[in-house]
Amino acid sequence: MPAGRITEICGGFFYVDVGGKIIPCKLRGKVKKNRDVYAGDFASIEILPDGAGVIEHIDERRNLLKRPPVANANNIVVTVAAKEPDFHPLLINRFLILAEYSKAKKIIVCANKIDLLPAEKQPEFLSLYEKIGYKVLRVSARENRGIDELRSELADGICVFMGASGVGKSSLINALCPEFNRETNTVSERTKRGQHTTRTVRLLNFGAGYIADTPGFGAADTASIPKEELAALFREFTTYFDRCRFKPCSHTHEPDCAVKSAVAEGLIAVERYDAYIDMMKNYK
């Protein structure tokens, strides 16, 4: 039975890459009943006489990014804009936590539109996240700046660009591979926010793997992450867990909390702790 990767789900069809040929498929009823299916899943299919297919089986996935919904992602590029739209710390932290929760092998922070900042401010933009341990790339799709370095960071497998609308994900993908010619748009003059151009997740062939072009969104919901797992997704928090007086510790109201002490001493950035507290408010 032929097997391949689901590259797009659109209009009730599941498009499966089987040896470089994209086959439009429907789901067998038993598959639809038993599990959700996402772009990036491996599928075994039956090919019908008319050339279309039916998905008979979905393999167990290594990981899952819930939003944007992509299965088996190896690399996640959390994409922000230096300006237009303006940078919001809470939003990047929500994306990073979603990326951490997916257990992707590599997480990169990509600052697009870096050319819109004064030259003296560019090296320090997002330096906080470098100190935490993330690889930060400062690039400009418009000027084709930093694109070769970004390309070198994308290994085999699936690479997901995730970020708010208007940060330039599709422009970056076009710069990496001009033949993709993804639709782009400008930031709304009225709202100063990005306008959606990508409407479905689509995996595009890139080297030995794929790039996932994904819809942008203005809010990243972390409420699906179990409350007791949230703090550990903040990389720099984990160093202090053993020093908290109470175990478990929510790092919010407890006395003698080592995480709160580290914030007060400047060892953990207030920006990060504030994002944690904001996410904790999502839980009832």
For residue 182, what pLDDT band results from cuts at 50, 70 and 90? low
Q: Which of these, 134, 202, 138, lies nearest to 168 by C-alpha position?
A: 138
- The 3-state DSSP class for residue 91 equals helix
87 secondary structure, DSSP code: P
Buried b (16+ CB within 10 A) or exposed e, 210-219: bbbbbbbbee
Q: What is the pLDDT of residues 245-274, one digit of tens each?
A: 999 999 999 999 999 999 999 999 999 999
**Binning pLDDT at 50, 70 and 90, where does residue 39 land?**
very high
Compare 284 and 98 and report the one with higher pLDDT.
98
Closest of 237, 241, 218, 228 to residue 275, by C-alpha? 237
CA dist 180 and 141 (Å) reads 14
* Mean pLDDT confidence for 181-199: 48
| 3-state secondary structure string across 99-158 | HHHHCCCEEEEEEECHHHCCHHHCCCCCHHHHHHCCEEEECECCCCECHHHHHHHCCCCE
Residue 188: the pLDDT is: 42
pLDDT reported for residue 46: 94
pLDDT at position 154 is 87
Among the listed residues 150, 186, 153, the one whose alpha carbon sits nearest the alpha carbon of residue 168: 186
pLDDT at 218 over 70: no
Q: Summarize pLDDT for 103-161 with one digit per residue, the tens.
A: 999 999 999 999 999 999 999 999 999 999 999 999 999 999 999 999 999 877 899 99
Residues 75-96 as b or e (16 or more Cβ within 10 Å = b): bbbbbbbbebbebebebbbbbb
pLDDT at 196 over 60: no
219 pLDDT band, cuts 50/70/90, is: low
Residue type, 275: A
Report d(CA 157, CA 104) in Å as an integer: 11
Q: What is the mean pLDDT of residues 76-80?
A: 94
Q: Average pLDDT over the chain, rounded to whole?
A: 89
d(CA 94, CA 275): 8
pTM of the model: 0.85
